[in-house]
Structure 1
């Protein structure tokens, strides 16, 4: 299976992205972090207002992932370049449940590697919840290494307990 990456550029596509994020987050995250924290994090980081704020204030870029074979929407990804560190921060790689395990995450990492090469960036990095063993194994298998461990207070008594993982782009 191949993936097509379509930039999120219009008000309509931003609204579609927020709806997709809400769907995917609520199918996956409550089992790991609970329903209340999932709701809070969707509102803070995945809602339409959060997406528009990230685009405006933090130079975020977002893409939909579509399956090449039939055009169906399988997930989304997003992040932003960090010129000061010469890296690209991958903030989001989220796939619908039925689409996991079909190579879309691997294709997304390759997409970012290519993007980094085109832009002259030396590495890409991301944060991953320490309890998300499936994602950690996947990133390790794609050549990422754990470079740090962080606990981030995101408000309302919630903490993001993450590993920072990085991959050099050659």
Structure 2
């Protein structure tokens, strides 16, 4: 799998369209359609993505399966470095419904482990919806531990009810 950085306006438009599709495949069953619509517009629309990327706050990558000789985008991931805590915040790991369960998420976690090592960060962390049992089990299997519970008011009466999970990155000897 290849991780293709997202940076051009055209790539950001493609990412926003992908996010809209994937989020509407996955989230309405957990948080409802209204909150899904709100969160896509607020956090994953073209305007939100371009602002976050251009401000240098977040980095995004397309997940490209290049094993079959034909490049196929299967999802996307993104996050940001937090220098004050020496951690990387994994904000998004999203796959099309047809691509889940094929080991891509494990490759994404491995990508972030290498990224943290290269950037000399001590850990990576993410938030996961408390009702997302499948994701919680998957993250625990990859070594993440729940370190906190967070209820975040994101506006318009919507709350994100999450666990914060962290994985320490082991330093390797050079």
Partner of residue 40, structure 2: 42
Partner of residue 86, structure 2: 86
- CA distance in structure 2 between the partners assigned to 1:138 and 1:53 by the alignment: 31
- CA distance in structure 2 between the partners assigned to 1:147 and 1:32 by the alignment: 22
Partner of residue 52, structure 1: 50
How far does residue 58 in structure 1 lie from its aligned partner after superposition? 5.2
Partner of residue 67, structure 1: 65
Q: Secondary structure at the residue paired with 1:74? A: strand
Runs of 4+ in 1 over 4 A off after TM superposition: none
Question: How do residues 1-170 of structure 1 correspond to structure 2 at under 5 angstroms?
Answer: 3-57=1-55, 59-69=57-67, 70-170=70-170
- CA distance in structure 1 between the partners assigned to 2:135 and 2:100 by the alignment: 11
How far does residue 9 in structure 1 lie from its aligned partner after superposition? 1.3
Q: Secondary structure at the residue paired with 1:66? A: strand
Per-residue deviation, residues 83-129 of structure 1 (Å, max 9, x unmatched): 00000000000000010000000000000000000000010000000
How far does residue 57 in structure 1 lie from its aligned partner after superposition? 3.4
Q: Secondary structure at the residue paired with 1:108? A: helix
- CA distance in structure 2 between the partners assigned to 1:103 and 1:94 by the alignment: 13
Q: Secondary structure at the residue paired with 2:55? A: helix
How far does residue 56 in structure 1 lie from its aligned partner after superposition? 3.0
Q: Secondary structure at the residue paired with 1:75? A: strand
Count matched residues. 168
The answer on whether the counterparts of 2:7 and 2:53 sit within 8 Å (CA) in structure 1 is: no
- CA distance in structure 1 between the partners assigned to 2:56 and 2:118 by the alignment: 20
For normalisation by structure 2, the TM-score amounts to: 0.95
How far does residue 138 in structure 1 lie from its aligned partner after superposition? 0.4
- CA distance in structure 2 between the partners assigned to 1:165 and 1:123 by the alignment: 11
